């Protein structure tokens, strides 16, 4: 295994543990997690492998196989002995140590090699995969005995309070708790989860991931602004979170501007998640497309987190015969997903490529999604 070979070369010993944690696609339930709502993500077959050994001091040595180093050049590990030495991607790793220690766990330093294959910038949550792979390895090494949900929450805390990105719990939960062949339903208030089986192949269907290649930067303030809109709308309505809005018409009548639009999205999106789960339970997988389309339109028009590249990918997919399509993840670029009958996949791809060509945009990348396993130990 590449991470193990690199570990031996960098540190002159074997790693004690090797863990893998996946990225995710969200099927539906977007920007609902931090409103105490419902989400329905699944793990993708790409993720982060973390090879880890303990140290008996507090230094963290960290090597990424995706880091710069240059062809033929032996990459040098970062050496981090103070929290404020962590920069860039290493903050996601060091933040996990910080969060575990803040929670009172006696975690010392470590030697680490990171090997990731989540398509970069595609919005498939490589950062959650990175956090969760390290959290799982440390829990295992130090025999902390933490539940996967707790490790997801600590990973979220690392991202919120150490990295400074105010994300919800969806991505870390998807990475830690997903099961192969299942989507993960999560109630983000009670934190109850359920792995719901979804056999697309049996229906002659597939989910195509369309990576627009467009800039995807959630930390630039837009995400935090949406969160603030939701929190102030909830305060105006006198509810704990937008999850608690039961009479949408009455709520909308009391709001205007951005808050009104955000509430419209969040409340209807929660209903769409429940409706989609209902269809899956009824074995009506072929019928979920309309909910995906409605989710996209709501994210585009009410939540205003789509982008021209995402909209064109969705519209072209539908023209090509997709049963439904939507942006997935935080938005402002990243990926769309299209639910496609197997015999339509080529046509959908061709239609999207053509639409991008016509606009002079760089070609998008396509990845067939499969519903992969959550975090697991490799060695």
127 is in an annotated binding site: yes
223 is in an annotated binding site: yes
DSSP code of residue 199: -
Residue 146 is assigned to a ligand binding site? no
Looking at the Cβ atoms of 324 and 331, the one nearer to ligand GAF is 331
**Annotated binding residue 122:** yes
Among 171, 259, 309, 351, binds ligand GAF (CB under 6 A): 171
Cα–Cα distance, 370 to 354 (Å, whole number): 25
Q: Cα 72 vs. chain centroid, distance in angstroms? A: 33
The Cα–Cα gap between 4 and 124 comes to 25
Contact 110, 55 (CB under 8 A): yes
For residues 185 and 38, the answer to whether their CB atoms sit within 8 Å is: yes
In angstroms, give the least distance from the CB of 292 to ligand GAF. Answer: 14
In the set 36, 115, 139, 171, the catalytic residue is: 171
Among 11, 23, 33, 212, binds ligand GAF (CB under 6 A): 33
Query: Per CB under 6 A, does 168 bind ligand GAF?
Result: yes
Residues with Cβ within 8 Å of residue 159, at least 6 apart in sequence: 92, 95, 127, 128, 131, 165, 167, 172
Determine if residue 306 is labeled as part of a ligand binding site: no
Each residue 323-362 as x (binds ligand GAF by CB under 6 A) or -, in order, gives ------xx--------------------------------
Site string for ligand GAF, 188-227 (x = CB under 6 A): ------------------------------x---------
Name the one range near ligand GAF by CB under 6 A: 30-38, 63-71, 196-204, 259-267. Answer: 30-38
Size of the residue set binding ligand GAF (CB under 6 A): 13
Whether residue 171 lies in the annotated active site:
yes
- Tokens 């999106």 sit at which residue? 269
Is the Cβ of residue 289 or residue 330 nearer to ligand GAF in the bound state?
A: 330
To ligand GAF, the closest distance from the beta carbon of 128 in angstroms equals 7
Q: Which stretch binds ligand GAF (CB under 6 A): 29-37, 147-155, 276-284, 352-360?
A: 29-37
Interatomic CA distance for residues 238 and 235, integer angstroms = 5
* Token output for 105: 């766990």
The reply, when asked if residue 21 is annotated as ligand binding, is no
Of the candidates 203, 193, 200, 196, which has an alpha carbon nearest to the alpha carbon of residue 182?
196
The CA–CA distances, whole Å, from 87 to 80, 232, 273, 275, 342 equal 10, 32, 37, 42, 43
Query: 75 phi and psi, to 5 degrees?
Result: -70, 145
* Rounded distance between C-alpha atoms, residue 86 and residue 339, angstroms: 40
Catalytic residues: 171
Binding-site sequence positions: 30-33, 64, 121-127, 159, 223
Residues belonging to the binding site for Mg(2+) are 127, 159
The site for ligand GAF (CB under 6 A) is made up of 26, 30-31, 33-34, 125, 167-168, 170-171, 218, 329-330
């Amino acid at each position: 295994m590449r991470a193990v070979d690199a570990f031996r070369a960098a540190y002159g010993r074997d790693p004690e543990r090797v863990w893998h944690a996946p990225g995710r696609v969200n099927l539906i339930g977007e920007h609902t997690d931090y409103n105490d709502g419902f989400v329905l993500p699944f793990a993708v077959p790409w993720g982060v492998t973390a090879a880890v050994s303990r140290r008996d001091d507090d230094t963290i040595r960290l090597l990424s196989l995706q880091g710069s180093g240059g062809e033929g050049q032996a990459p040098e590990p970062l050496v981090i002995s103070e929290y404020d030495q962590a920069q860039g991607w290493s903050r996601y790793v060091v933040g996990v140590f910080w969060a575990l220690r803040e929670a009172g766990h006696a975690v010392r330093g470590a030697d680490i090699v990171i090997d990731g294959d989540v398509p970069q910038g595609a919005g498939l949550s490589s950062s959650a995969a990175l956090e969760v792979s390290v959290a799982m390895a440390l829990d295992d090494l130090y025999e902390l005995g933490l539940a996967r949900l707790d490790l997801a929450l600590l990973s979220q805390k690392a991202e919120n309070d150490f990295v400074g990105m105010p994300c919800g719990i969806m991505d870390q939960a998807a990475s830690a708790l997903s099961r192969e062949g299942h989507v993960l339903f999560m109630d983000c208030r009670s934190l109850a989860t359920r792995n719901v089986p979804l056999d697309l192949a049996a229906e002659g269907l597939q989910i195509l991931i369309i990576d627009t290649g467009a800039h995807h930067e959630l930390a630039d303030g837009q995400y935090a602004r949406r969160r603030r809109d939701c929190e102030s709308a909830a305060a105006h309505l006198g509810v704990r979170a937008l999850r608690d809005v039961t009479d949408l018409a009455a709520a909308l009548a009391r709001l205007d501007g951005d808050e009104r639009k955000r509430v419209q999205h969040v409340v209807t999106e929660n209903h769409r998640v429940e409706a989609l789960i209902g269809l899956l339970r009824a074995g009506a997988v072929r019928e979920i497309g309309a909910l995906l389309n409605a989710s996209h339109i709501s994210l585009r028009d009410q939540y205003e987190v789509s982008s021209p590249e995402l909209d064109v990918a969705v519209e072209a997919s539908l023209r090509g015969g997709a049963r439904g399509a939507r942006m997935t993840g935080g938005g402002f670029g990243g990926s769309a997903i299209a639910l496609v009958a197997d015999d339509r996949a080529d046509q959908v791809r061709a239609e999207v490529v053509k639409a991008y060509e016509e606009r002079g945009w760089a070609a998008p990348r396509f990845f067939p999604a499969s519903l992969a396993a959550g975090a697991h130990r490799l060695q």
